Amino acid sequence: MRSNRAKVRAGVSMAATLPLLAGALALGIPAAHAADNPGRDTLAGTRPAWATARADKGATPNSAQVSARVYLAGRDAAGLAAYAKAVSDPSSPAYGRYLSARQAQQRFGATKAQVAAVTSWLRASGLKVTAVTRHYVAVTGDVAAAEKAFGTQLHNYAKGSKTYRAPSRTASAPDSLKGAVLTVTGLDNAPHKASHKDQLPPPDAVFRNSGPFSSYYGSNIATTLPDAYGTKVPYTVKGYTGRQLRAAYGAGKHTGKGVRVAITDAYASPTIAFDAATYAKKHGDAAYTTGQLRQVLPKNYTKTQECGAAGWYGEETLDVEAVHAVAPGASITYVGAASCYDDDLLDSLGKIVDGHLADIVSNSWGDIEANQTPDLAAAYDQVFQFGAVQGIGFYFSSGDNGDEVANTGTKQVDTPANSAWVTAVGGTSLAVGEHNRYLWETGWGTERASLSDDGKTWKDFPGSFIYGAGGGTSSTVAEPFYQKGVVPDSLAKANSADGNRVVPDIAAIADPNTGFRVGQTQTFPDGSQQYSEYRIGGTSLAAPVIAAVQALAQEARGGKAIGFANPAIYAKFGSKVYHDVTDNPTGSGLAVVRVDFANGFDAADGLFTSVRSLGKDSSLKAVKGYDDVTGVGSPAPGYVGSWRRR
């Protein structure tokens, strides 16, 4: 399953949890035929790496039940990837020649004959077909039928302290299908659990920030507290508003008018319309017009307890309010998934592509790369490629745990931000001064030191790393063409002499200590549900901010879709349209003071005072030029206008 990243507010990062993308499959290249299984096409990546002989606990009983999805390769998988590249590359003659959803399906989607052949094969194997879409055929049945269909035995394997089912050899499909099958998911059941229909829970318990605050960076200095880096430092901002962010990233007079932005998360906040309207009114954002904010939701929700459904309400609230605050003229469509699992999130992305519900899609969820599986990678990347040929760009948060060593013990990037077909959004700490003037940004990475009991020193200053923008070098995804010549070899070739994908591509405000203010209905200690505001951060904030800036840019170019933006983003590298973000822009070290309620609500259980050092992202460094914290940098005032059609 996958987790949202909107919980970076109380000093605790909400870890991302879920599988995704890899290798050649991430570039849209079909798997090679299997030489050791004559008459069958190997479906690469369907046997997970943890299904080893040593972990094998024996055959899964034939009567055990399997639910799987057989994804369709379509007419021309390689052609889809090639066209997605061509229409996204400013140096290509095909740049911007997008297809409609219908044209894309007619040119690259599965034919009726392919769907019929796949369906017939599955039924003949003894599986029950439960759904047929333009992307996949869903089936259920017992293990014996699944083994017959996919040419493999299913065994039980130890994975950590638990046991899961998985293929004992890579799954395959008959050659007679002539490559109609892209991949199959669900043969491996880790970490899936039985699902059931649920009602959405009430909002999470209230969270509040304690003061003192700054209204803009440096407006309120903590004069009675110890120095940091040789000087008194300011209190954290109460939370930047849309006006401050629009000024910082050069919105000018653009509002995103006429541009459609979609947001995907799991579940749906029952109070989003009220919260968004209340927040806009309180902070001087334009009022929502009729139909400007709408939701596309599933009929039923599942796994609400396992996925922490109420926690996703804050994610939706942040994403909607951030997009509207920066691009108040853009229309917003929220597409909620039935759960935080891949199948449901894929369905949400598919709805956007199939119906072309938007040109820009913000996504603030993911997982560590170690949990990715190539079968799901193929399914995700196919959706991204279909989006690209239609002029739809996907923006994904890069993660909130830096290089992931503190979180997982292994240096790695997050997915799906590591996909070659999405724009990965990293994070910064942002200083907006008086009169909404942009001062500087650092790469987002925080070290925390608490105030001593006597109030005279900071304990073990600068303290320990607590969170920061995700980034680094993929171990599975090859270096995409648009990063070559921009990303230093020291990063691109960190894991392979051939070069790999490096994350992120671009960055924006993410540090919760210089974060954004949101308004949300929450559950108070007395059981009542009330609207309340708090400061929030994480790359869950950076992603919708960049999506909103892209909406401004699309308006600036006369409404023509930007599409998959990475080739153009990298083509602008080194120009003045980016803030070249570094970790220590003032040369003297930077920090802010933060005061928190110990119980997250009021002072009844005391206060916790700490100093937060900025620009301290684990082993990752924001340096001049491209880096693996902020990518090419953050949007400068010339960025929006640089997308004008010439």
Q: How do residues 489-547 score in pLDDT, each as one tens digit?
A: 999 999 999 999 999 999 999 999 999 999 999 999 999 999 999 999 999 999 999 99
Least confident of 29-33, 180-184, 207-211, 247-251: 29-33
Residue pLDDT, tens place only, 100-118: 999 999 999 999 999 999 9
Give dist(CA 388, CA 383) in Å, integer.
9
Kindly state the average pLDDT of the residues 240-261.
Answer: 98
CB 218: neighbour CB atoms within 10 A? 17
Could you give the C-alpha distances from 114 to 136, 179, 355, 387, in angstroms and in order?
11, 9, 22, 22
Predicted local confidence at residue 374, as pLDDT:
87
Is there a contact between 425 and 543 (Cβ–Cβ < 8 Å)? yes
Amino acid symbol at 339: S
The answer, yes or no, to whether residue 29 has pLDDT greater than 60, is no
Residue pLDDT, tens place only, 589-623: 999 999 999 999 999 999 999 999 999 999 999 99
Kindly state the average pLDDT of the residues 356-369.
Answer: 96
The answer, yes or no, to whether residue 13 has pLDDT greater than 90, is no
Predicted local confidence at residue 18, as pLDDT:
34
Query: Which pLDDT band holds residue 160 (cuts at 50, 70, 90)?
Result: confident
Predicted local confidence at residue 37, as pLDDT:
66
Predicted local confidence at residue 102, as pLDDT:
96
Predicted local confidence at residue 492, as pLDDT:
98
Give dist(CA 255, CA 509) in Å, integer.
19
pLDDT above 90 covers a percentage of the chain that reads 88
Predicted local confidence at residue 543, as pLDDT:
98
Least confident of 29-43, 71-85, 354-368: 29-43
The answer, yes or no, to whether residue 244 has pLDDT greater than 50, is yes
Predicted local confidence at residue 516, as pLDDT:
98
Kindly state the average pLDDT of the residues 552-556.
Answer: 98
Residue pLDDT, tens place only, 328-350: 999 999 999 999 999 999 999 99
Predicted local confidence at residue 372, as pLDDT:
84
Predicted local confidence at residue 192, as pLDDT:
38
The answer, yes or no, to whether residue 195 has pLDDT greater than 70, is no
Amino acid symbol at 542: A
pLDDT above 70 covers a percentage of the chain that reads 93
Kindly state the average pLDDT of the residues 475-482.
Answer: 96
Query: Which pLDDT band holds residue 86 (cuts at 50, 70, 90)?
Result: very high
Predicted local confidence at residue 646, as pLDDT:
53
Least confident of 60-74, 368-382, 451-465, 565-579: 368-382
Over the chain, what is the mean pLDDT?
92
Query: Which pLDDT band holds residue 19 (cuts at 50, 70, 90)?
Result: very low
Predicted local confidence at residue 11, as pLDDT:
35
Predicted local confidence at residue 2, as pLDDT:
79
Identify the CA nearest to 85 among candidates 551, 492, 481: 481
Predicted local confidence at residue 574, as pLDDT:
93
- Which residue segments constitute the domains of the chain, with CATH numbers given? 3-19+201-211+218-643 (3.40.50.200)
Is there a contact between 8 and 467 (Cβ–Cβ < 8 Å)? yes
The answer, yes or no, to whether residue 4 has pLDDT greater than 90, is no
Predicted local confidence at residue 482, as pLDDT:
98
Predicted local confidence at residue 505, as pLDDT:
98
Is there a contact between 245 and 285 (Cβ–Cβ < 8 Å)? no
- C-alpha neighbours within 13 Å on the C-beta side of residue 179: 11
Could you give the C-alpha distances from 626 to 95, 423, 489, 569, 584, in angstroms and in order?
25, 15, 11, 12, 15
Q: Tokens at residue 620, please?
A: 């990752």
Predicted local confidence at residue 61, as pLDDT:
96
Is there a contact between 633 and 544 (Cβ–Cβ < 8 Å)? no
Predicted local confidence at residue 34, as pLDDT:
39
Predicted local confidence at residue 175, as pLDDT:
95
Predicted local confidence at residue 191, as pLDDT:
64
Query: Which pLDDT band holds residue 39 (cuts at 50, 70, 90)?
Result: confident
Q: Which residue has the tokens 């769907």?
A: 115
Residue pLDDT, tens place only, 42-65: 998 899 888 999 999 999 999 999
Predicted local confidence at residue 52, as pLDDT:
94
Kindly state the average pLDDT of the residues 68-92.
Answer: 97
Sign of the four-CA dihedral 103, 105, 111, 112? negative
Predicted local confidence at residue 408, as pLDDT:
92
Could you give the C-alpha distances from 204 to 255, 315, 319, 378, in angstroms and in order?
32, 12, 17, 35
Kindly state the average pLDDT of the residues 464-475.
Answer: 97
CB 607: neighbour CB atoms within 10 A? 12
H or E segment and range at residue 394: strand 393-397
Residue pLDDT, tens place only, 419-429: 999 999 999 99
Predicted local confidence at residue 6, as pLDDT:
57
pLDDT greater at residue 66 or residue 646: 66
